[in-house]
Structure 1
């Protein structure tokens, strides 16, 4: 195996407190489905979502993949008038597989661990 000089780059979020994560069925690349089927607000679940995102590692090359499974809207604590959010696409892996994340406006792919996929599947209640 060759030596890869590029350092693994984790996905980043704003340095603000996350107050809600909304999950919706994706309608495809580049857009956000506003009709969420799940709103996550409890601290433990938010921590799982945040860890899944911030431990996902950037993969080399450009994505050539099917449409995403889900859209993920990360909402941050904000002052009145501000609406800081992050829109992500999620491809949820099967049990013991990695999941894939991508920023809405980007084509870089980030992979989670199989362990994070398990936690995401529990969180989204997908068996």
Structure 2
């Protein structure tokens, strides 16, 4: 009986570890984004609340949300003392919750990176195609 209990416990713990690792592979977005506010970033670790633009049109929100959902997780080393992201993004949800993000926007044909504020070493790569979408959204605001 002890061997069965131990085996079940080990299997459960292993499944939890695999589940936790898979969370780093995709961005967690909640349903019902009400707005996306964007500002030039001053540094890692916080959000510049002097927003240049706020997006509240459903069609544009859907495009940006799809870009973030397509981003692929990866560990990265960020020197928060010398580097800085290009943009800070505050995502507001209809239920009142928020997500703060940093965006390092790539040039045309390059990947970009996005990460949750406070979790800068767990970044998400945005494809060059989706970088183009982000550039279009930012240019048209």
Shorter-chain TM-score: which interval?
0.7 to 0.9
Higher gyration radius (CA): 2
Q: How does 1:54-69 map to 2 (within 5 A)?
A: 54-64=69-79, 66-69=83-86
How many angstroms does 1:19 deviate by?
0.7
Picking from 112, 119, 123, the partner of 1:106 is 119
Separation in 2, partners of 1:69, 1:97: 15
Structure 1 segments unaligned to the other structure (5+ residues): 1-5
Comparing 53-62 with 88-97, greater Cα deviation is found at 53-62
3-state DSSP of counterpart to 2:59: helix
Deviations, residues 60-118 of structure 1 (Å, cap 9, x unaligned): 3433472100000000002xxxx300000001110011110010010211101111100
Comparing 114-123 with 48-57, greater Cα deviation is found at 48-57
Count, aligned residues: 116
Structure 2 segments unaligned to the other structure (5+ residues): 1-20
Structure 1 pair 61–34 and aligned structure 2 pair: CA distance change class (3 A): closer
In structure 2, the residue matched to 1:3 is none
In structure 2, the residue matched to 1:91 is 104
* TM-score with structure 2 setting the length: 0.76
Separation in 2, partners of 1:93, 1:43: 25
User: Which has the larger share of helix?
Assistant: 2
In structure 2, the residue matched to 1:17 is 32
In structure 1, the residue matched to 2:132 is 118
Measured on the aligned residues, the alpha-carbon RMSD in Å equals 1.8
In structure 2, the residue matched to 1:36 is 51
Separation in 1, partners of 2:51, 2:72: 26
Picking from 65, 78, 84, the partner of 1:50 is 65
Kept after mapping to 2: 8 A contact 1:63/1:109: no
Separation in 1, partners of 2:102, 2:132: 18
